[in-house]
Amino acid sequence: MSVLAVSLLPVTFTPVLPVVSFHYQPEAFYTDVEQAPWSVLDVFDDVNDKLFAFCELFCDIVDKHAPIKKIKIRGKYSLV
Protein backbone atom coordinates (compact mmCIF):
# COMPACT_ATOMS: atom_id res chain seq x y z
CA MET A 1 0.00 0.00 0.00
CA SER A 2 1.45 3.36 -1.01
CA VAL A 3 0.92 6.54 0.94
CA LEU A 4 0.74 9.95 -0.66
CA ALA A 5 2.21 12.71 1.47
CA VAL A 6 0.71 16.15 0.96
CA SER A 7 2.32 19.27 2.32
CA LEU A 8 -0.10 21.78 3.82
CA LEU A 9 2.50 24.55 3.80
CA PRO A 10 1.75 27.38 1.36
CA VAL A 11 3.81 27.42 -1.81
CA THR A 12 5.56 30.74 -2.24
CA PHE A 13 6.52 32.25 -5.56
CA THR A 14 7.79 35.49 -7.01
CA PRO A 15 5.46 36.92 -9.65
CA VAL A 16 7.10 38.12 -12.85
CA LEU A 17 5.14 40.63 -14.89
CA PRO A 18 5.82 41.76 -18.46
CA VAL A 19 5.87 45.54 -18.81
CA VAL A 20 6.47 47.79 -21.79
CA SER A 21 9.27 50.33 -21.48
CA PHE A 22 7.83 53.70 -22.48
CA HIS A 23 11.16 55.54 -22.34
CA TYR A 24 11.50 55.93 -26.08
CA GLN A 25 12.07 58.84 -28.40
CA PRO A 26 9.17 59.37 -30.82
CA GLU A 27 11.36 61.07 -33.43
CA ALA A 28 13.71 58.09 -33.57
CA PHE A 29 10.72 55.74 -33.86
CA TYR A 30 9.25 57.75 -36.74
CA THR A 31 12.61 57.81 -38.48
CA ASP A 32 12.99 54.04 -38.23
CA VAL A 33 9.45 53.51 -39.56
CA GLU A 34 10.16 55.81 -42.50
CA GLN A 35 13.49 54.10 -43.26
CA ALA A 36 12.23 50.52 -43.00
CA PRO A 37 12.52 48.56 -46.26
CA TRP A 38 8.77 48.46 -46.94
CA SER A 39 9.45 47.72 -50.63
CA VAL A 40 10.18 44.14 -49.57
CA LEU A 41 6.41 43.67 -49.30
CA ASP A 42 6.07 44.07 -53.07
CA VAL A 43 8.12 40.91 -53.63
CA PHE A 44 5.35 38.68 -52.28
CA ASP A 45 2.21 37.76 -54.21
CA ASP A 46 0.32 36.09 -51.38
CA VAL A 47 -1.39 38.44 -48.93
CA ASN A 48 -0.46 36.20 -45.98
CA ASP A 49 3.22 36.45 -46.90
CA LYS A 50 2.91 40.24 -47.14
CA LEU A 51 1.25 40.38 -43.74
CA PHE A 52 3.96 38.20 -42.21
CA ALA A 53 6.72 40.39 -43.68
CA PHE A 54 4.97 43.56 -42.48
CA CYS A 55 4.59 42.17 -38.96
CA GLU A 56 8.26 41.15 -38.86
CA LEU A 57 9.44 44.61 -39.96
CA PHE A 58 7.09 46.55 -37.72
CA CYS A 59 7.54 44.33 -34.65
CA ASP A 60 11.33 44.64 -34.94
CA ILE A 61 10.99 48.42 -34.85
CA VAL A 62 8.54 48.35 -31.94
CA ASP A 63 10.73 45.94 -29.96
CA LYS A 64 13.68 48.25 -30.49
CA HIS A 65 11.89 51.38 -29.24
CA ALA A 66 9.44 49.97 -26.66
CA PRO A 67 10.84 46.63 -25.51
CA ILE A 68 8.92 44.31 -23.23
CA LYS A 69 10.81 43.78 -19.98
CA LYS A 70 10.09 41.36 -17.17
CA ILE A 71 10.01 42.67 -13.62
CA LYS A 72 9.81 40.75 -10.38
CA ILE A 73 7.35 41.84 -7.71
CA ARG A 74 9.00 42.01 -4.31
CA GLY A 75 7.43 40.37 -1.32
CA LYS A 76 6.16 36.90 -0.51
CA TYR A 77 3.07 35.57 -2.21
CA SER A 78 1.43 32.24 -1.72
CA LEU A 79 -0.77 30.12 -3.89
CA VAL A 80 -3.02 29.12 -1.00
Of 37, 43, 26, give the one whose Cα is nearest residue 60. Answer: 37
Looking at residue 37, what is its pLDDT? 96
What does pTM read for this prediction? 0.63
Domain membership flag for residue 62: yes
2, part of any domain: no
Q: How many domains does the chain have?
A: 1
The pLDDT score that the predictor gives to residue 45 is 96
Short-list 56, 61, 74, CA closest to 17: 74
> Checking phi first, is residue 75 left (phi over 0); if not, alpha (psi -120 to 50) or beta?
left
Separation of alpha carbons 47 and 53, rounded Å: 10
Q: What is the full per-residue pLDDT of the chain (80 aa) written as tens digits? A: 566 655 565 666 677 888 877 677 889 999 999 999 999 999 999 999 999 999 999 999 998 888 888 888 776 665 55
- Residue 4 within any structural domain of the chain: no
Is 1 contained in some domain? no
